[in-house]
Amino acid sequence: MKFDRILCRYGELTLKGDFTRSYFEKKLIKNIKSGLKKKNIEFEIEREPGRLFIKTKQIEESCEVLKKVFGLTSISPVKTVIIRADLEKLINSAVKFAKNFIKKDDTFAVRAKRKGNDAFTSQMIERRVGAEIIKKIGSKVNLTNPDKILFIEVRQNKAYFFKEKIKCPGGLPLGTQGKVVSLLSGGIDSAVSTWMMMRRGCKVIPLYINTSSNVINRKRVKMVLEKLNEWSIGNEMKLIEISDYKKVIDAIVRTCKSNLTCLLCKRMMYRIGEKIALKKGADAIVTGESLGQVASQTLANIRVLDQAIDIPVLRPLISFDKEEIIKIAKDIGTYEPSIMPHEECYAVPDVPRTKGNVNEVLEEEKKINIEEILKDLVK
């Protein structure tokens, strides 16, 4: 079956005001161009209200790119026919297209949508095309659970025929919502939270705070980033690594209360993230924390953590359970590298504090030279 275009749909963008919508559409087109050019695909982009059409001979390769473009909700390879106001030509073209994939033993349905052509209604198209398929192919109609669906979209003087809608990630075009620094550990949660902020249109600066000298940990985070970069179309991410953080953990373990180790460590990580954000022009840091998942992620401890810095801390996974997070990780391709063997943090106490007190934490932090440590690490 020969297709000549890819129909691209976007949902949330259509709800914006004219100025914002135009800005988002231009950013979306820019990202699409970036992704297709990177794969050496020759194409033209045709823009219509609420739709983009990618005209190319490399349909399959283009679809693989477009499936990972944030802002698109779905795509469909289509066959284009100029029909003007000729209903009979539309019907004949539809049946000819249907013969390529609807067989006699299949049940089928016709789903039509019309915009800007008043010669016939969507219901009229569905009835007439359906009747002709029954006559010419011998298939039976099933409107609730058909084996095959013939989609028809009529826009002005053209009809677009297609058989599937390929799901895309949706969200907002990458780069429309500013920058964030993501604390990327290489684990399941931080990878998913990073992806979710990308889906909301944020450019992400990935920050890896290396808590050990183990090369396996570094390899894991780089493999996770490779998978995330497959989605970062229009903005390839480059990893920032804090490589000697182990000495910070050693200082905390040596001088502070053991049951506060995780809280003190995370507050230092937040401060590093804030320093990087200010250097890079980012407005927030992102973490993979989920409420109650571990001791440092209780509501009381999250409050203590947030008071370490002045910029916002975004937690896309705050209400997700582990199974939901794992499902997303598998869907986006980060799950396998995230579960690679790695070295766990050696400093986790046997009984960590689940309800920290900010005044007590501040007293413990006086035992270490925070500003000097930060200056040394971030430089």
Q: What is the CATH number of the domain that holds 332?
A: 3.40.50.620
pLDDT per residue as tens digits for the range 11-56: 888 788 888 889 999 999 999 999 999 999 999 999 988 899 999 9
Q: Are residues 82 and 194 in the same domain?
A: no
Q: Are residues 237 and 88 in the same domain?
A: no
Q: Look at residue 225 and tell me if it is in a domain.
A: yes
The answer for residues whose C-beta is within 8 angstroms of residue 235's C-beta and 6 or more apart is 31, 174, 175, 203, 204
pLDDT value of residue 347 = 83
Cα gap 28→69, rounded to integer Å: 8
Parent domain of 296: 179-378
First to last CA, the chain: 58
Q: Are residues 157 and 192 in the same domain?
A: no
Is a pLDDT exceeding 80 seen at residue 146?
yes
Q: Are residues 360 and 224 in the same domain?
A: yes
Q: Look at residue 173 and tell me if it is in a domain.
A: no
* Tokens encoding 289: 């924390």
Q: Look at residue 92 and tell me if it is in a domain.
A: yes
Question: What is the chain's mean pLDDT, rounded?
Answer: 94
Q: Are residues 202 and 311 in the same domain?
A: yes
Cα gap 118→84, rounded to integer Å: 10
Residue 349, CB half-sphere, CA atoms under 13 Å: how many? 20
Task: Pick the closest to residue 270 from 254, 284, 259 (CA basis).
Answer: 284
Task: Pick the closest to residue 206 from 324, 263, 287 (CA basis).
Answer: 287
Q: Are residues 133 and 238 in the same domain?
A: no
Cα gap 99→82, rounded to integer Å: 19
pLDDT value of residue 211 = 86
pLDDT value of residue 343 = 83
Q: For the domain that residue 60 is a member of, what is the CATH number? A: 3.30.2130.30
Q: Are residues 229 and 278 in the same domain?
A: yes
Is a pLDDT exceeding 80 seen at residue 118?
no
Q: Look at residue 81 and tell me if it is in a domain.
A: yes
Please say whether the beta carbons of 66 and 52 come within 8 A: no
Query: How many other C-beta atoms lie within 10 A of the C-beta of residue 282?
Result: 23
Q: Are residues 361 and 216 in the same domain?
A: yes
Q: Are residues 19 and 124 in the same domain?
A: yes
pLDDT value of residue 369 = 87
pLDDT per residue as tens digits for the range 256-309: 999 999 999 999 999 999 999 999 999 999 999 999 998 889 999 999 999 999
Report the number of distinct structural domains present in the chain. 2
Q: Are residues 267 and 240 in the same domain?
A: yes
Q: Are residues 330 and 187 in the same domain?
A: yes
Residue 95: band (very low, low, confident or very high) from pLDDT cuts 50, 70, 90: very high
Of 120, 143, 167, the position where a domain reaches its end is 167
Q: Look at residue 294 and tell me if it is in a domain.
A: yes
- Choose the weakest-confidence range: 52-56, 119-123, 155-159, 211-215: 211-215
Query: How many other C-beta atoms lie within 10 A of the C-beta of residue 100?
Result: 12
Buried b (16+ CB within 10 A) or exposed e, 297-313: bbeebbebbeebbebeb
Of 120, 140, 167, the position where a domain reaches its end is 167
> Cα separations (Å) of 164 from 24, 53, 75, 229?
26, 15, 8, 27
Of 167, 187, 221, the position where a domain reaches its end is 167
Q: Are residues 334 and 292 in the same domain?
A: yes
